[in-house]
Amino acid sequence: MTGILTAVRELLGTIARSYVTVVVAALLIGAAVAPIAWGATSGPDGSVAVIEVDQSITEASADEIAADLETARENSSIDAVVLKIDSPGGGVTASERLYLAVERTAEEMPVIASIQSMGASGAYYMSAPTDDIYVSPSSTVGSIGVRATYTDSSAANEITTGPDKGTMSETQVKEQTELMKQTFLGSVLEHRGDDLSLSETELSYAKVYTGTEAVDNGLADEIGDTEVAVGEAADRAGLGDYETVEMERSSSLGTGILFEGDDSGGETAATGPHHHPQTFGQYGDVSTPAFLALWGSVDGETVIAETGGERTAATTTGSAPSLGAAPQGGASP
């Protein structure tokens, strides 16, 4: 009887040892297979949104770009933003609005600017709050300034309720232009001041620089294309694996800044005959001063400038100003 019990105990022990071996083997196999299965089913760590700014900055284009930035902030799957910029700037108020939208976005996530061929004036204004600015060696960068322009009109036998109703004196226009310039200049100094080798006076000349020069003087951070900028944005967001999301526009926006009497499409149904450059509304024959953070020139515009204490008014014909031209009085390019 004792022999039978001993045999039974040995059999049960053998079975128990075999079970433990099977369980351990199963756990080891599971541990080896689990990472492979997880890697096969998990997605990227997050995403980087690319928002294009590829036209002059108008109220309409600012609406779309600001909406894209708001979408990026509110979408939990977007971890960083790259602004792909190719623009000479545009209206002062529209540029200021984008500056504020970019600044607000940069407070919540990494924002990197990638300047293509041009990021000047208002387009540089909106780039200032970004974490880094990437440029190509031959990019056009800078033009920190504002200019006041208007189109000629006459109002005979006009009756107004006050001396300044409906008109602005040359002094008032210059004062407003100078105030806008100082706001623009102050914003750039606030965000880029530690990196700039340019003095405030040099910056106020409103020169433009090549991308290589901009890196040297602190207006830009690195030479690199959009792919490099996206990688930097992902790194700043802590993304090891990520996808790039191109923000699509709902409609095609007009890119021109048109003045009264402009013959380059001003009579189209989309723009109307008298498309104002500052508010980009339609005012018929009404002509009001426009304040532009824009590098370049527009057919038919008259720039209010001051040289040697005397007023000069130069009507442009569309030829681009020379690189690095110094501003004349309060009407910076």
Q: Work out the mean pLDDT of the chain and round it to a whole number.
A: 75
What average pLDDT score do residues 15-31 get? 50
- More confident of the two residues 312 and 237: 237
Q: Annotate 140-180 with DSSP letters as a single string.
A: EEE----EEEE-----TT---SSTTTT---HHHHHHHHHHH
Give residue-wise pLDDT tens across range 214-245: 999 999 999 999 999 999 999 999 998 999 99
| Residue-level pLDDT at 9 | 64
Instruction: Tell me how far apart the alpha carbons of residues 123 and 110 are, in angstroms, rounded to a whole number.
Output: 19
| Residue-level pLDDT at 279 | 40
3-state class of 275 per DSSP? Answer: strand
User: Is 36 inside a domain boundary?
Assistant: no
Query: What one-character DSSP code corresponds to residue 45?
Result: S
* C-beta of residue 87 within 8 angstroms of C-beta of residue 127: no
- More confident of the two residues 275 and 166: 166
> Is residue 47 over pLDDT 70?
yes
Q: What angle do CA 274, 173, 93 make, to 5 degrees?
A: 60
- More confident of the two residues 92 and 287: 92
What average pLDDT score do residues 41-52 get? 84
pTM: 0.73
Give residue-wise pLDDT tens across range 252-294: 444 454 433 333 333 333 344 334 444 434 444 556 777 889 9
How far is CA 329 from its chain centroid? Answer: 28
Share of the chain above pLDDT 70, in %: 60
**Residue count (the chain):** 333
| Residue-level pLDDT at 171 | 82
Instruction: Tell me how far apart the alpha carbons of residues 273 and 285 are, in angstroms, rounded to a whole number.
Output: 9
> Is residue 8 over pLDDT 60?
no
Instruction: Tell me how far apart the alpha carbons of residues 189 and 196 are, in angstroms, rounded to a whole number.
Output: 8
Residue found under tokens 């030829």: 319
Q: Whole domain around residue 109: which residue ranges? A: 46-144+200-246
> Is residue 123 over pLDDT 50?
yes
From the CB of residue 71, how many other CB atoms can be counted at a distance below 10 Å? 13
For residue 139, what is the domain's CATH number? 3.90.226.10
- More confident of the two residues 327 and 85: 85
3-state class of 123 per DSSP? Answer: helix
* Total of domains in the chain: 1
User: Is 24 inside a domain boundary?
Assistant: no
User: Is 82 inside a domain boundary?
Assistant: yes
User: Is 4 inside a domain boundary?
Assistant: no
Instruction: Tell me how far apart the alpha carbons of residues 212 and 235 are, in angstroms, rounded to a whole number.
Output: 24
- More confident of the two residues 41 and 225: 225
How far is CA 220 from its chain centroid? Answer: 13
User: Is 278 inside a domain boundary?
Assistant: no
| Residue-level pLDDT at 168 | 73
- More confident of the two residues 266 and 316: 316
User: Is 275 inside a domain boundary?
Assistant: no
Exposure string (b/e) for 90-116, b if CB count within 10 Å is 16 or more?
A: bbbbbbbbbbebbbebbeebbbbbbbb
What average pLDDT score do residues 10-19 get? 57
Instruction: Tell me how far apart the alpha carbons of residues 244 and 47 are, in angstroms, rounded to a whole number.
Output: 6
From the CB of residue 196, how many other CB atoms can be counted at a distance below 10 Å? 16
> Is residue 16 over pLDDT 60?
no
Confidence of residue 23 (pLDDT cuts 50, 70, 90): very low
What's the Cα-to-Cα distance from 317 to each of 130, 207, 273, rounded to whole Å?
A: 35, 21, 19
* C-beta of residue 193 within 8 angstroms of C-beta of residue 125: no
User: Is 101 inside a domain boundary?
Assistant: yes
Exposure string (b/e) for 234-250, b if CB count within 10 Å is 16 or more?
A: bebbebeebebbebeee
User: Is 306 inside a domain boundary?
Assistant: no
